[in-house]
Structure 1
Amino acid sequence: MPPYDSHRPGLTGVSVAVARSFEDLSRVIALRAAVYMAEQACPYEEEFDGNDLSATHLIGYVGDEPAGCLRIRFFADFAKIERLAVRAEYRNTRLAFTLVRAGIELARVKGYRRLYGHAQKRLVGFWSRFGFRVFEGAQELVFSDFDYVEMLMEAEPHPEAIGIGVDPYVIIRPEGRWHKAGALDRSRGRAVTRPSVDQQASR
């Protein structure tokens, strides 16, 4: 089971799921509001910056309780890992580590090898544990009252990275569930009743 699709209802311990529904997105919003807006006094418009509907979100669970989240945005040749948030009462777990590792794995499966982030300077050591480094020429920046620095990770290619040439049904499965047959896989068992060529006209 991939680390980014390990949550199932009723499980104990730490697990992760990709946000796939409006309810899931509501969980992400609640988690980030609790961590960034309530704890760090981040203004609403800075926390919810217009990028959430164009990103992949991971939700971390402790048991069945949503306890943390992570956002990933994809660019031409790199993926940006950001907005890691864990509720205060769950920071004694390994959830933050689990979320970051799951995010890295998901990006690698999508074919990304360069992972990029803006790390608060006080957390550079945390991100270094996963292979991120402050690279030569990295810029420092300030936003939402914190100081940040650019970091980069160069990952090994994933042996099962998704690309052109794989089973095309894999590419149309739900995000993060490429290993499981989805609704469109099941639909291929039905006969073609709406052919794309007008058979009468082609005779």
Structure 2
Amino acid sequence: MWTALMKGYGMHGFGDEALKLFADMERFGINPNDITFIGLLNACSHVGLVAEGKRIFKEMVHEYGLVPKIEHYGCMVDLLGRAGLLHEAHEMIKAMPIRPNTIVWGALLAACKLHKNPYMGEMAATELLEMEPRTCGYNILTSNLYAASNRWNDVAGVRRDMQDLGVRKEPGCSLIEVNGSLHQFIMGDRAHPQIGNIKDMLSEMSNKLKEADYT
């Protein structure tokens, strides 16, 4: 029950509350398990509590004698990566006593895209694509990373590799409910019965934005 509450706080961005709850749990003499620490580290990651996350990770090992699993390392790489500590995150991956999986490398790749570090991102992408070359998401993330750095030849190379492997990106889809009716929109699709009205409204919105000097 304590763990479920902590995970709930963390999921909704209340990292400080999750840490306070953990302190209460310790005060009541209830020992946390490995899942408790996954929830705590996730909570720290979502709100950027880097120092607290490092402390929690050490406490798990040295005070409670729990051996970190791949999920704990994934949380730590995500925590450090989101905070822009990419080299520290990479050092943690290299020091892991177990083989890093796609979750760990994927967390580093996402952080490299966020902080625009294509060189370390390329290394993470290489590891990922060796493990799962047919996973569309990793290929697209790598392509976007190159695009953000204007490396268009590399973007073309990723797309070409996807084509050679037969990897296809599913088109983006969004859903909206209006007056009890569900409307689906797929990227590039013109099949909606009210597409004419939708295009007119978009044009009107665009004109009003221009009149308001919005760029």
TM-score (norm 2): 0.27
Query: Greater Rg, structure 1 or structure 2?
Result: 2
Whichever structure has more helix as a proportion of its residues is 2
The structure whose RCO (Cα within 8 Å, separation 6+) is larger is 1
Whichever structure has more strand as a proportion of its residues is 1
TM-score (norm 1): 0.28
